């Protein structure tokens, strides 16, 4: 679907010259912007390089799979569910070189400390997540993760209403809960001009 096509910078961080140097990468943007797809792409490249990779996602996100992270374009990568950032830290093996975390906005604020701690241990930490909630407000802990990251990728979707680059996740059903897990059945991508900070009717295009 054209509206799900992401515009993303595929530049990878350069390799660090110092052995065992860790760092943090953050992939942030709206829904349908290709965040999980970009995360999976980087994880696959790390595995091709024969690096040990571990991947985690929040337990509450089981939209597409219980044991995989799955993009809207149906790319997938095996992952483990975690209830908290502390659990992620406890489950990372001593010899793991790359840690991937999807849906970072659903983790608690301890994810910032955990990411820093892993990076200091020499781990490459890659975190993908929504940087704003359905009202357009920054969604912790993503802003704090963006602040500490060495490398940041901002992804954009395509606005369902006008076709311009989209930076917002428009809720299309009535609910005031900040966390309401869903996909194209509950959200659509909108640009700044078309976004409204509350539920709005889904976009319908005439076909003819």
Query: Coil, helix or strand for 92?
Result: coil
Identify the weakest region by mean pLDDT among 10-19, 37-46, 56-65.
10-19
The tens digit of pLDDT for each residue in 140-179 reads 999 999 999 999 999 999 999 999 999 999 999 888 787 6
Of residues 67 and 173, the one with the higher pLDDT is 173
Asked if the model's pLDDT at residue 32 lies above 80, the reply is: yes
Is 129 in a helix, a strand, or coil? strand
Active site residue 150: no
Q: Would you say residue 99 has pLDDT above 70?
A: yes
Domain boundaries, the chain: 20-155
Binned at pLDDT 50, 70 and 90, residue 136 comes out as very high
151 Cβ neighbours under 8 A, 6+ residues apart: 13, 23, 24, 25, 26
Tell the CATH topology of 20-155.
Answer: Rossmann fold (3.40.50)
- pLDDT (0 to 100) of residue 106: 93
Q: Given this model, what pLDDT does residue 65 score?
A: 55
Q: Is the pLDDT of residue 17 over 70?
A: no
Closest to 159 in 3D by CA, of 203, 200, 103: 203
With a pLDDT cut of 70, the percent of the chain lying above it is 78
pTM of the model: 0.85
pLDDT at 78: 83
pLDDT-derived band at 72 (thresholds 50, 70, 90) equals low
Name the catalytic one among 12, 103, 176, 177. 103
Those residues with Cβ within 8 angstroms of residue 182's Cβ, 6 or more apart along the chain or in another chain: 63, 173
């Amino acid at each position: 679907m054209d509206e799900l096509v992401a515009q993303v910078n595929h530049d990878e961080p350069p390799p660090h010259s110092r052995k065992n140097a860790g760092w943090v990468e953050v992939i942030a943007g709206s829904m349908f912007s290709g965040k999980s797809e970009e995360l999976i792409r980087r994880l696959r490249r790390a595995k091709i390089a024969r690096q040990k990779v571990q991947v985690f996602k929040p337990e509450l996100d089981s939209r597409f799979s219980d044991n995989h992270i799955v993009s809207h374009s149906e790319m997938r990568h095996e992952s483990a569910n975690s209830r908290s950032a502390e659990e992620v830290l406890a489950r990372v093996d001593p010899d793991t070189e790359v840690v991937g975390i999807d849906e970072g906005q659903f983790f608690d604020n301890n994810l910032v400390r955990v990411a820093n701690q892993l990076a200091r241990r020499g781990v490459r930490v890659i975190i993908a997540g929504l940087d704003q909630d359905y009202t357009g407000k920054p969604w912790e802990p993503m802003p704090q993760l963006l602040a500490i990251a060495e490398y940041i990728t901002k992804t954009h979707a395509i606005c369902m209403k006008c076709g311009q680059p989209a930076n917002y996740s428009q809720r299309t059903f009535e609910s005031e809960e900040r966390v309401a897990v869903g996909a194209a059945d509950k959200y659509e991508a909108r640009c700044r001009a078309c976004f409204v900070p509350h539920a709005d009717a889904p976009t319908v295009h005439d076909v003819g």
